[in-house]
Amino acid sequence: MGSPKRILILDGDPHADQTLHRTLREALAAPGREFQDAPEDLGTVRCAHYDLILAGTVSALACARRMWPKTPVIVIAGAAAPEDVVAAIQGEAHGYFSVPFTVSALAAMVERALESGAAENDLEVLSARPAWLGLKLRSTRDAADRVLQFVRELAADLGAPGQENFATAVREILSNAVEHGGGLDPAQWVSVTLVRTGRGMLAYIRDPGEGFRFEQLPHAAVSNPSEAPFEHAEVRQRLGMRPGGFGILLARSLVDEFIYNEAGNEALLVKYFARSPR
């Protein structure tokens, strides 16, 4: 068995409540993992090696970047202020979760971060305004999962269930973009633009593929005639494809507006606020 994976919990506040620390340890505990709380004097651990850092604030992220520039950092903050989420992306955070968060989603991201280790960053920031966030990501599932968590946090003003509906719709289209448009090739890049307006939020996704036409998607549920809602499942089975094909249909049902360009490699998803944003 190899060396244990060492995880540092770095709050950025020496007087922080230890309840969250205990919760994180219990939720993320697994064989071969060790947790450590950061001491007040970080100089005492400057030369120590960590496989992952859980930062409580964007300031703690910045501190971690100075001391351990290659170590993956996940921010777990008390709130999802848009400017903090964007600052975390600029600071090359591996992910951002605000309280309350879904433990299973955090656990999955921690697992992937520990597996990937100090790898080349798979995100590029094109615009870093909370009202206009532009990103490029490599055509990998891990990169898509990271972007989707940032999208989920930035969509908090949509309220429940609007936030989750918007994030789910983006997930379906972004998954198609990296899998089909980018061919799951890390050398290919997908662009995502997230825009906040006075009425809601929109996501614009563009992939490097040749696109598609709806009439050429017999394996997708969106092409099913009304009298045969599961016809695509038989097509997928004949073609030896995995079960599925509901992505476009699901995304269309979860947002207020859903538009593809003529080629089929660019999509726009719009979700309106159910209330006035903060």
Residue type, 194: L
Do residue 107 and residue 142 come from a single domain? Answer: no
- What does the alpha-carbon distance between residue 126 and residue 22 come to, in Å, rounded to a whole number? 37
The per-residue pLDDT for range 56-77, each reduced to its tens digit, is: 999 999 999 999 999 999 999 9
The H or E element containing residue 128 is strand 123-129
Helix (H, G, I), strand (E, B) or coil at 206: strand
CB 178 within 8 A of CB 207: yes
Q: How far is CA 35 from CA 26, 45, 46, 107, 180, in A?
A: 10, 14, 16, 14, 39
CB 278 within 8 A of CB 157: yes
CB 149 within 8 A of CB 105: yes
Number of Cβ atoms within 10 Å of the Cβ of 268 = 18
Domain end among 57, 84, 119:
119
Per-residue pLDDT, 171: 96
Per-residue pLDDT, 124: 96
CB 95 within 8 A of CB 109: yes
CATH number of the domain encompassing residue 80: 3.40.50.2300
Do residue 134 and residue 42 come from a single domain? Answer: no
- Contacts within 8 Å (CB) and 24+ apart, 45-51: 45/8, 48/6, 48/8, 49/6, 50/6, 50/7, 50/8, 51/5, 51/6, 51/7, 51/114, 51/117
Do residue 127 and residue 19 come from a single domain? Answer: no
Do residue 75 and residue 167 come from a single domain? Answer: no
Q: Which one, of 187, 166, 135, lies nearest residue 273 by Cα?
A: 166
Do residue 187 and residue 93 come from a single domain? Answer: no
Residue whose pair of structure tokens reads 């219990």 in the numeric block: 26
The per-residue pLDDT for range 170-214, each reduced to its tens digit, is: 999 999 999 999 999 999 999 999 999 999 999 999 999 987 655
Write out the two tokens for 5.
């994976």
CB 162 within 8 A of CB 201: no
The per-residue pLDDT for range 76-92, each reduced to its tens digit, is: 998 889 999 999 999 99
217 falls in which pLDDT band (50, 70, 90)? low
Write out the two tokens for 13.
């506040």
pLDDT at 223 > cutoff 50: no
The per-residue pLDDT for range 105-148, each reduced to its tens digit, is: 999 999 999 988 665 689 999 999 999 999 999 999 999 999 99
Rounded to two decimals, the pTM is 0.85
Residue whose pair of structure tokens reads 């968590």 in the numeric block: 149
Per-residue pLDDT, 231: 47
Number of Cβ atoms within 10 Å of the Cβ of 276 = 7
Do residue 136 and residue 180 come from a single domain? Answer: yes
Do residue 33 and residue 127 come from a single domain? Answer: no
Range of the structural domain that residue 139 is part of: 121-278
What is the number of domains present in the chain?
2
Residue type, 124: E
pLDDT at 152 > cutoff 80: yes
With the C-alpha atoms ordered 44, 48, 54, 60, is the resulting torsion angle positive or negative? Answer: positive
Q: What is the DSSP letter of 110?
A: H
pLDDT at 278 > cutoff 80: no
Name the pairing type of β-strands 123-129 and 189-196.
unpaired
Residue type, 91: G
